Amino acid sequence: MKYHSPYPEIRSVCTPTDDPTIPVETFRAYVIGIFWVAVVGFINQLIYYRQPHFTLTSQVVHNILLGAAFVYFFIPDYLFTALSTFNWMTWIAPKNKNLAFVTGSTIGVGFNPITTFDWSVINYASPLVIPFFATAKQYADTVVGAIILLILFYTNYQYTARVSKVWVGPTTPNKRLPEYMLCDHAQ
């Protein structure tokens, strides 16, 4: 009982001992940690021997990264929202419905090698928190599922190609939208 949690909710779901099969020190943590230690150490050593010398304390590095993170959030979220869902392949051929269905992130399957530049979209499923093998398994499962969906859609299995009239149907999606959501091209 010495290492048990004082809270009954946590005691009911957690064991008081560690599982030795779960990796704690990952390769990714060491690479990122050593990289930033080397970068900040190099900058401090480079600047220290110059006159007047100064050093980058942890507070200065934190404030620089805080400002950079704000800019990195502000630009994709408010100034250029196309960076959040970066469908660059659909920009090449905007009227190609098959390309939009296969590579589009918003209305398609999302087979796109560079899908976003927005960190909040990248971090949506917390890929940096869970181990790499779990992230790789989720990615592989998504690719297999998307391939199966594409096969079902293009073979019209149980009329799946007719489900979405937006991509392949004879009607236009504008007919279903209310008047205030339509774009006036005359302006």
Note down pLDDT in tens along the chain; length 187 residues. 677 777 777 777 777 787 788 777 888 888 989 999 999 899 888 888 887 777 778 898 899 989 988 887 787 777 777 777 777 888 888 888 888 888 877 777 878 877 777 766 777 777 677 888 888 898 899 889 989 988 888 887 776 665 554 444 444 545 555 565 555 666 5
CA angle 173, 178, 180 (to 5 degrees): 115
pLDDT at 166: 47
What was the pLDDT predicted at 159?
63
Residue 153, pLDDT score: 82
Spell out the residues 6+ positions from residue 106 whose beta carbon is closer than 8 angstroms to its own. Answer: 85, 87
Task: Say how many Å lie between the first and final Cα of the chain, rounded.
Answer: 73
